[in-house]
Chains A and B, each alone.
Chain A
Amino acid sequence: MSDLIKFKIDGVECMAESGKYIVEAAADNGIFIPTLCNMKGVKPKGACRICTVRINGRLMTSCTTPVTDGMEIESHSEDIQELRKSIVELLFVSGNHFCPACEKSGNCELQALGYLYQMMVPRFPYEFPLKPVDAKSAKIIKDQNRCIFCKRCIKTIKDEEGRSYFAFRNRGHKLEVVLDEEMGNKIDDATAQLAMENCPVGSILVKEKGFTVPIGKRKYDKAPIGSEIKL
Chain B
Amino acid sequence: MKNTVNQIVEKYGSDPTRLMDILIDIQESAGYISKEAIGLLSQLLHMSQVDIEQTITFYHFFSSKPQGKYAVYLNNSPVAYMFGREAIKETLEKETGIKFGEVTADGLIGLYDTACIGMNDQEPAAIINNKIFTRLTPYRIREIVKHMREGKDMDELRNESYGDGKNNLPSLRSMVSSNIRRKGMILSDDYNSGTVTREILPKISPEAVIAEIKHSHMRGRGGAGFPTGLKWEFCRRAKGDKHYVICNADEGEPGTFKDRVILTEKPELVFEGMALAGYAIGGDEGILYLRYEYRYMKNYLYGVLQQMRDNGLLGKSISGIEGFDFDIRIQFGAGAYVCGEESALLESLEGKRGEPRDKPPFPVEKGYLGQPSIINNVETFATAVRIIQNGGEWFTQFGTDDSTGTKILSISGDCMFPGVYEVNWGFNVEDMLDMVGAYEVQAVQVGGPSGTLIGPAEFHRTLGYSDLSTGGSMIIFGKQRNLLKDVVVNFMEFFIDESCGSCSTCRNMTQVMNNKLKKILSGKGVEADLIDLKTWSKTLNASRCGLGQTAANPIVSSLKNFPHLYNELIQKDKEFDEGFDMEKSVQAACTFVGRVPNFNHH
CB-based contact B512/A90 at 8 Å: yes
A93 and B503 contact, CB distance less than 8 A: no
Contact at B499–A173, with CB atoms within 8 Å?
A: yes
Q: Which of B500, B502, B538 has the most CB of A within 10 A?
A: B502
Chain A interface size band reads 35 or more
Q: Is the CB of A171 within 8 A of B542?
A: no
Chain B residues closer than 8 Å to A29, beta-carbon distance: none
In the complex, the answer to whether A93 meets B512 with C-beta atoms within 8 Å is yes
Which listed residue (A91, A161, A178, A182) contacts B46, Cβ 8 A? Answer: A161
- Measured in the bound complex, the distance between the Cα atoms of B544 and A91 in whole Å is 17
Stretch at the interface among B51-59, B83-91, B107-115, B565-573: B51-59
Whether B504 contacts A167 by the Cβ 8 Å rule is no
**Docked-complex contact B499 and A47, CB < 8 angstroms:** no
B360 within 8 A of A: yes
Q: Pick from A172, A178, A179: contact of B498, CB below 8 A.
A: A172
Contact between B48 and A183, CB atoms less than 8 A apart: yes
Is the CB–CB distance between A167 and B536 below 8 Å? Answer: no
CA distance A48 to B539 in the complex (A): 12
The listed residue (A52, A86, A94) touching B511 by CB distance below 8 A is A94
Check A90/B579 contact, CB under 8 A, given A44-B358, A167-B50, A169-B57. Answer: no
Chain B residue contacts of A149, Cβ below 8 A: 501-502, 504, 507
Q: Quick one: given A91-B508, A168-B54, A169-B54, are A83 and B500 in contact (CB under 8 Å)?
A: no
Query: How does the 8 Å CB contact mask read for A157-168 relative to B, with 1 for contact and 0 for none?
Result: 001011111111
Q: How far is the CB of A55 from chain B (nearest CB, A)?
A: 11
Residues of A within 8 A of B539 (CB): 83, 86-87, 90
CA distance A18 to B17 in the complex (A): 32
| In the complex, A201 has a CB within 8 A of chain B | no
In whole angstroms, how far apart are the Cα atoms of A178 and B450 in the complex?
31
A175 and B512 contact, CB distance less than 8 A: no
User: Given the known A-B contacts A65-B360, A83-B539, A173-B511, are A45 and B502 also in contact in the complex, defined by CB atoms under 8 Å?
Assistant: yes
Is B129 on the interface with A (CB-CB < 8 A)? no
> Does A170 sit within 8 A of B, measured CB to CB?
yes
B48 with A167: CB separation less than 8 A: yes
Least CB separation from B500: chain A residue: A171
- In the complex, chain B residues whose CB is within 8 Å of the CB of A172: 496-501, 507
Roughly how many angstroms separate A61 CA and B503 CA in the complex, as a whole number? 11
Q: Is B49 close to A, CB under 8 A?
A: yes
Which B-chain residue is minimally distant from A47 (CB atoms)?
B502
B545-595, CB < 8 A from A: 579
Q: Any chain B CB within 8 A of the CB of A206?
A: no
B48 touches A49 (CB 8 A): no
Contact with A along B377-402 (1 / 0, CB 8 A): 00000000000000000000000000
A178 to B51 Cα, complex, angstroms: 10
User: When the two chains form their complex, are residues B542 and A59 in contact, meaning their CB atoms are under 8 A apart?
Assistant: yes
Name the residue on B nearest A59 (C-beta).
B542
Interface positions, chain A 39-63, Cβ under 8 Å from B, are: 44-50, 52, 59, 61
- Chain B residues near A183: list those with CB within 8 A: 48, 50
Query: Is the pair B497, A167 in contact by a Cβ cutoff of 8 Å?
Result: no
Q: Which residues of B contact A164 (CB under 8 A)?
A: 47-48, 50-51
- Please, how many angstroms separate the alpha-carbon atoms of A183 and B48 in the complex? 8
Contacts of B579 in A (CB 8 A): 125
> Is B543 in contact with chain A by the CB < 8 A criterion?
yes
User: Interface readout for A168-196 with B: 1 if CB under 8 Å, 0 if not?
Assistant: 11111111001111110000000000000
Q: Does B353 contact A (CB under 8 A)?
A: yes
Per-position binary interface string of chain A over residues 60-85, scored 1 when its CB falls under 8 Å from any chain B CB and 0 otherwise? 01001110000000000000000100
Contact of B48 among A90, A123, A175, A180 (CB under 8 A): A180
A127 within 8 A of B: yes
Is the Cβ of A167 less than 8 Å from the Cβ of B53?
Answer: yes
**Contact of B484 with A by CB under 8 A:** no
Known: A171-B58, A183-B48. A90 touches B501 (CB 8 A): no
Which residue from chain A places its CB closest to the CB of B515 in the assembled complex? A125
Contact residues in A for B512 (Cβ distance below 8 Å):
90, 93-94, 124-125, 127
Q: How far is the CB of A64 from chain B (nearest CB, A)?
A: 4
A173 to B515, CA, bound (A): 13
For window 530-546 of B, CB contacts with A under 8 Å fall at 532, 536, 538-539, 541-544
Q: Complex formed: what's the CA distance from A29 to B78 in Å?
A: 53
Q: Chain B nearest CB: distance from A63 CB in Å? A: 9
Q: Which residue of B lies closest to A44 (CB)?
A: B358
- Residues on B with C-beta less than 8 A from A171 are 57-58, 336, 353, 498-501
A212 shortest CB reach to chain B, Å = 30
Closest chain B residue, CB of each to CB of A163: B48
Does A148 touch B at the CB level, under 8 Å? Answer: yes
A181 with B49: CB separation less than 8 A: yes
CA distance A179 to B51 in the complex (A): 10
Which parts of B499-525 form the interface with A (CB within 8 Å)?
499-505, 507-512, 515-516
Q: Point out the residues of chain B lying under 8 angstroms from A44, CB to CB.
A: 358
A84-116 near B? 1/0 per residue, CB < 8 Å: 001100110110000000000000000000000
Please judge, given known A-B contacts A46-B544, A180-B49, A183-B48, whether A175 and B505 are in contact too, CB under 8 Å. no
Q: Are A168 and B501 in contact (CB under 8 A)?
A: yes
Q: Give Cα A196 to B532, complex, Å.
A: 37
Q: Can you name the residue of chain B whose Cβ is closest to the Cβ of A125?
A: B515
* In the bound complex, CA of A127 to CA of B358 (Å): 29
| Closest Cβ–Cβ distance, residue B556 to chain A (whole Å) | 16
Expressed in whole angstroms, the Cα–Cα distance for A121 and B132 within the complex equals 50
For A94, give its contact among B49, B51, B508, B516 (CB under 8 Å).
B508
Residues of A within 8 A of B509 (CB): 90
B504 contact from A47, A159, A163, A179, Cβ within 8 A: A47
Question: Which residue of A has the minimal Cβ distance to B519?
Answer: A125
Most-contacted residue by chain A among B353, B499, B500, B508 (CB, 10 A): B508
How far is A164 from B539 in the complex, measured between Cα atoms in Å? 32
Q: Are B358 and A64 in contact (CB under 8 A)?
A: yes
Q: Which of B307-362 contact A (CB under 8 A)?
A: 336, 353, 358, 360
A170-B501 Cα distance, complex, nearest whole Å:
9
Q: State the CA gap A9–B433 with chains docked (Å).
A: 50
Binding site for A on B (CB under 8 A): 46-51, 53-54, 57-58, 336, 353, 358, 360, 496-505, 507-512, 515-516, 532, 536, 538-539, 541-544, 579
Give me 28 A-to-B residue pairs in the complex whose CB atoms sit less than 8 angstroms apart, sorted by A's number: A45-B358, A48-B503, A50-B504, A59-B542, A61-B544, A64-B358, A86-B539, A87-B539, A90-B539, A125-B516, A127-B512, A164-B51, A165-B48, A167-B50, A167-B53, A168-B58, A170-B57, A171-B353, A171-B498, A171-B500, A172-B500, A172-B507, A173-B499, A173-B501, A173-B511, A178-B53, A181-B49, A183-B48
